[in-house]
Structure 1
Amino acid sequence: MNSLYDEFRIAVHSVWNRRWLALAVAWGACILGWLVIAMIPNKYESKAQIQVRTQSILSDQVGLPPQDQRRNIQQLTQTLISSENLAKVVRGTDLGASVATDQELAGKIEGLRANIEVKAEQDDFFAISAKLPSGKLARDVVQKLIDVAEEDNIAGDRKTTSQTLRFLDAQIEGRQKELANAEAKRVAYETQNLGLLPGVGSVSQRMEASRAELSQIDSQLIQARSALAALNGQLAGTPATLNTTIAGGGSPTALGQAQGELASMRARGFTDNHPDVVAIRNQIANLRSQGGGAAGGGYRTPNPAYSSLQSMRAEREASVSALQARKSALQSDMAELAAKQTAEPGVAAEYQRINRDYEVLKAQYDKLITERDQIRLRGQVETQTDAVQFRVVKEPSLSNVPAVPNRPLLLAAVLIAGIGAGIGAAFALGHLQTSFPTAAKLERASGLPVIGSISQMLGVEEREQRKQKMKLFYGASGGLVGVFALLLVAEFVQRGLTA
């Protein structure tokens, strides 16, 4: 502990012996530092707080979710310090007074961007700050930024919506022409390959319909031929004429009518065992028995039943011929369809490709129409109902105290650093020069025993000289502190004058 105390005493003694060097270095460092501080330009800061609020009632109804609304806010804060907006700020404030060329404008914009900060705070609050050489200029810049943000919220959204709608209108017009061409191509292909395309009336469907009709005609033809054969059998068993007696017990007219009824029943398909047929046959037998024993001559008359059967046979033969002709026509059509069916796969594939292209264009066209309507509605909601609303919470401040630099603090820091530099220089020089401030240090350095030390004896004149030097030293030291105090006073006076 004593050794540390001795070392401290030695260090203090070394610095004190070189106090004029320490004072000179302190003066030089302080003057240099204070000159550097004086060259730093003042920057005054102006701050404002705004609230960007999104209304979500109507926006949600038209498909403007909160995510898109927050994205709009982020885009707004990002574009607020864009070159276009900063150019408006430069032209709308005193910064544009000295701008004559585009290069100067670009320089002003870059300088302004470096001194502007837009920072998001809690919820939907934002802070806008600017640091510029003048407090009034800083306030004007922040106010202009707020004005530009409000203008962009109204005009910018309308401009973006208008540009998007123009783009979609152009796309819709192009798709509409392509859709019309595709539809015309499809109609022309359908007309060219009528009957070969899938769907109603295609070759396959027509072939199936022809097969079904042919099967039905075959069944009808079999039935018609069977009916014709039965009718021919009945016609063969029916006499062409009837024997009419002139005198006798029976009535020839009654016999003819009975035979006609029997022929009609057989024509209708009644069998011999049918009760009506049995009854009419018994009636004919009775009539013949009555007329068979009568005296007198007779003559033969046409049998009406036979004539009726002949007419029915002609109808049945015509029906069979018609069915046979229809069958031949169907077989001819089926042969022609079978020949066409070989070309149907290629035609169908090409038709499907044309249809697919048409459906794709139709889907794109419908999608563009839907998007245009949605964007138009969303644009109306954003612009006419103020989907993003601005509210200035804190007006731009006007500061008379420079935010940068903090001169009082820097002046004090330079003073402390200068004094420290002086002490350090004296201490370093003391270590570079060989000296023995104590007997113990001399003994350690020489390795020889040191009996003691003799204090310096000064005369009256020398003591007076030392007192004068100490006064000068204290005066120079006080002068350094006095200069520091004067600089502080000048700084605060300047702030007061600026106010």
Structure 2
Amino acid sequence: MEDVLRQLVAYLRGMWLYRWWGLAAAWLVGAIAAGAIYMLPDRYESSARIFVDTQSVLKPLMSGLAVQPNVDQQITILSRTLISRPNIEKLIRMADLDLTVKTNKQREELIVELNKTLQIKGTGRDNLFTLSYEDTQPDRAKRVVQSLVSIFVESGLGDKRKDTDSARRFIEEQIKTYEQRLDEAENRLKDFRIKNMHLMGGGKDYLTQVGEVAAQLAAARLALREAENSRDALQRQLTGEEPVLLPENTVERKVSIPEIDGRVDALEKNLDGLLQRYTEAHPDVIGTRRIIEQLKEQKKVEVAARRNEGGGYGDVNSNPVYQQMKLALADAAANVASLRARVAEFEGRQVRLQESAKLLPQVEAELAQLNRDYEINKKNYETLVSRRESANMSVEMESSSGMAEFRLIDPPSVPLKPSAPNRILLMPLGGGAALLFGLAFTFILSQMRPTFLDGRDLREISGLPLLGTVSATADPVRKRRRQRLNLAFFGGVGGYVGAFGVLTVAIAMLKLS
């Protein structure tokens, strides 16, 4: 620590030897600095305050019905992005700043300067913004601020309208797309239902169809058993009756066998009824025709057998009870044949349903997927339509009341007094900087022309033994001369400080006046 202090004292003593050079440098640089500060051009600041009112009576009333963007956030972003190159170029044209611009380089320099000097300050939650600009000409400063206010208001309203129009166009395009998708999904679902109508049963599921066919088949089988039991009972009743004898000379085509003829007549009537409902390929029609042919062949065999027996043919009407029972037996046989055809038809339906059961899971999976796609497209379409109505309602609400209102609290005016430079602050700073320059100058001189101030420094630097030092004797004349020089030096320093103080006071008085 002692070495550091000793070194510092050595530096100060060396600088003291060149104090007059430092004082002269301080006066010279100070005079130049004072002149430069005084000659700085005055800059005038024009400002305006804008209040953005984002509150509206309709906002709480239309909550949930119309789209309400975060206007506060939009205004904050707008204030931060307002000073951009396109807006600055627009401002240059609006404020007639391009009249003095002749080259592209000057234009770029003007844009850079405006980007640095234009300021937008906000208070945050109050939505109160201050727009300011400094220029050497008061009128031009006002024009620039006025143009900036216009751009601020137009950007706020224009961006909202642009965003709304873009959103509406996008929603309209999406609605058209989903309309097309919805039509395609409906057509696919319709074609699938038509193609698999036999499995879907006209709205009935597979289990319902199987249950219905099983119930119908059971009922048909029960009716068949009842008809067969009735037929067998009639046959047992006819076992003890006398057979009908036909004359020998009766032509075969005119011979009547009641039990067979009655069955044929009943089946032909049933066949007429079936042909009115079904085609020739229907199982009931084919079965009935087959039974009729079998009965006719049976009649031929019966007639031939009776002829071979050689028996005489008696009168068929001689026993009315026997003939009635024969007719009843024929009706019962015809009914049995019809019920058998019905049972065969229901059994065929049941077999077809059982075969379709293998395809049913795949059909149900495809139907579920088609329904899911249709529901998704329908939901998205309805949502987009609802959003479009909300957007239209928002546009109407903005056009009627406005989501944000720009109020000019303090319009820009022509400044009467310059706002910069602050010469009252710059003058003492310039004086202090010049004084520091003088000190640095004396230090540099002391290092360029070093002087040994005591024998210890000489011995340390030369490395030679020091035998002794010669000191000067006290001389009153030289002492008084040194005192006068010191007083003159400190007077020069005081005069330097006083000069800058006087200049600062004078500038302050001129500014107040």
| TM-score of the pair, normalised by structure 2 | 0.65
Q: 1:16 to 1:333 in 2, by over 3 A?
A: closer
Q: 2:222 aligns with which of 211, 219, 222?
A: 219
What residue number does 1:328 align with? 344
What residue number does 1:457 align with? 477
Q: 2:147 aligns with which of 144, 152, 174?
A: 144
C-alpha separation in 2, matches of 1:171 and 1:315:
72
- Report deviation, 1:26: 0.6
C-alpha separation in 1, matches of 2:162 and 2:41:
41
| TM-score of the pair, normalised by structure 1 | 0.66
Q: 1:480 to 1:179 in 2, by over 3 A?
A: same
What residue number does 2:405 align with? 389
- Report deviation, 1:91: 1.8
What residue number does 2:258 align with? none
SS of equivalent to 1:169: helix
Q: RMSD of aligned C-alpha atoms?
A: 5.0
Amino acid at match of 1:211: A
- Report deviation, 1:27: 1.9
Q: 1:163 aligns with which of 166, 169, 173?
A: 166
C-alpha separation in 2, matches of 1:334 and 1:478:
126
| Stretch moving more, 325-334 or 49-58 | 49-58
C-alpha separation in 1, matches of 2:42 and 2:324:
133
In the alignment, is the contact (CA less than 8 A) between 1:161 and 1:376 conserved in 2? Answer: no
Query: Which aligned pairs between 1:408-419 and structure 2 lie closer than 5 A?
Result: 408-419=424-435
What residue number does 1:23 align with? 23
What residue number does 2:52 align with? 52
In the alignment, is the contact (CA less than 8 A) between 1:49 and 1:392 conserved in 2? Answer: yes
Structure 2 alignment gaps of length 5 or more: 1-6, 244-316, 459-465
In the alignment, is the contact (CA less than 8 A) between 1:41 and 1:133 conserved in 2? Answer: no
C-alpha separation in 2, matches of 1:447 and 1:213:
146
Amino acid at match of 2:430: V
SS of equivalent to 1:393: strand
Q: 1:182 aligns with which of 164, 168, 185?
A: 185
In the alignment, is the contact (CA less than 8 A) between 1:179 and 1:362 conserved in 2? Answer: yes
- Report deviation, 1:184: 2.4
Structure 1 alignment gaps of length 5 or more: 1-6, 241-300
What residue number does 1:367 align with? 383
What residue number does 1:73 align with? 75
Q: 1:165 to 1:474 in 2, by over 3 A?
A: same
Query: Which aligned pairs between 1:56-455 and structure 2 lie closer than 5 A?
Result: 56-58=59-61, 60-64=63-67, 68-99=70-101, 108-134=110-136, 135-197=138-200, 200=203, 205-227=208-230, 316-396=332-412, 398-423=414-439, 425-426=441-442, 433-434=450-451, 453-455=473-475
Aligned residues: 427
In the alignment, is the contact (CA less than 8 A) between 1:45 and 1:130 conserved in 2? Answer: yes
In the alignment, is the contact (CA less than 8 A) between 1:158 and 1:383 conserved in 2? Answer: no
Q: 1:74 to 1:318 in 2, by over 3 A?
A: farther
C-alpha separation in 1, matches of 2:351 and 2:10:
130
C-alpha separation in 2, matches of 1:68 and 1:231:
95
C-alpha separation in 2, matches of 1:40 and 1:451:
54
| Stretch moving more, 346-355 or 154-163 | 346-355
Work out the percentage of aligned pairs sharing the same amino acid. Answer: 26
